[in-house]
Structure formats: C-alpha cells, structure tokens
C-alpha cells in the first residue's frame, strides 16, 4: 500500500461550482470551475479548459488548459496548452507554451535562482 499522499488522485473541484478564497494542499489540485483567490500546493495544479482562475498560483507544476489572470510561482514547470491564456508574471524553472493566443505574448517569465527555488521547496 502506498502512503504517499501526493501520488493519489488530485483534489477535483468540479465545473458546477464557484470557489473563492485560499486553497492550501500537499496534493495535486484540478480546477474545472471559476476560482478567485490563491492556490498553494507542493504538487501539481491543473486548470481545466472551462476554468478561469483569477489570483495567484504557487505550486511545483502548473498545467494550464483554461485561463489564468494572476501571478504564478512554480518550482518546476509551467505548461500552457492550446487555447489557454495567462495574464501575469511567471516565476518558474521552466516554461512551455503550446498556446498561440495573442494575450500570452505580454507575459513576463523569470527563472529564479536555484537557492530561491530550494527555499520554496
């Protein structure tokens, strides 16, 4: 039996909801609904195609299929998929964009020093 909580299925917040506030978890989080606030996890955040996140995301990995309006800090990688959008400042070890949305051309992407990333981890 695997007791590693981060290897379990992500916390799912379904599309028929609206969430506002602060989410903090050690597990991965999958958002399918609109969200306003801050997300903090030591794992992966998945922003579904129908989701609009307004606020800050702090995580290890971020996969964007929907839309994010806010700042992002990832210790590993941010991946933007087709038709996704991101308006805000990005701090990540790596950034990949498959999105051709014009809004994404104004993003500021910074790669923090290794020491900063280690402190966050």
> Residue 18 CA to chain centroid, in angstroms?
17
Tell which phi-psi region holds residue 105, choosing left (phi > 0), alpha (psi between -120 and 50) or beta: alpha
Cα diameter, the chain: 47
Name the residue range of residue 91's domain. 5-120
Task: Name the residue with higher pLDDT: 102 or 70.
Answer: 70
Q: Measure the CA–CA gap between 121 and 40, rounded to whole angstroms.
A: 12
Predicted TM-score (pTM) above 0.85: no
Start-to-end C-alpha separation, the chain? 26
Per-residue pLDDT tens over the stretch 90-109: 988 888 888 665 555 556 66
14: helix, coil or strand? coil
Instruction: Write the burial class of residue 73 (CB in 10 Å: 0-12 exposed, 13-18 middle, 19+ buried).
Output: buried
Q: What's residue 14's pLDDT?
A: 87
- Tally of structural domains, the chain: 1
Q: What's residue 93's pLDDT?
A: 84
Task: Name the residue with higher pLDDT: 16 or 55.
Answer: 55
Residues 21 and 35 sit within 8 Å (Cβ to Cβ): no
Q: Measure the CA–CA gap between 30 and 85, rounded to whole angstroms.
A: 17
Residues 93 and 77 sit within 8 Å (Cβ to Cβ): yes
């Amino acid at each position: 039996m695997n007791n590693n909580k981060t290897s379990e299925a992500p916390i799912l917040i379904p599309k028929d909801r609206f969430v506002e506030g602060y989410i903090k978890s050690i597990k991965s989080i999958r958002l399918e609904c609109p969200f306003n606030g801050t997300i903090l996890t030591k794992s992966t955040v998945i922003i579904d195609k129908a989701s609009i996140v307004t606020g800050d995301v702090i995580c290890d990995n971020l996969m964007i299929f929907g839309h994010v309006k806010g700042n992002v800090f990832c210790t590993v990688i941010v991946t933007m998929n087709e038709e996704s959008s991101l308006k805000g400042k990005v701090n990540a070890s790596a950034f990949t964009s498959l999105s051709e949305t014009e809004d994404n051309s104004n993003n500021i992407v910074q790669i923090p020093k290794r020491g900063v990333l280690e402190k966050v981890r």
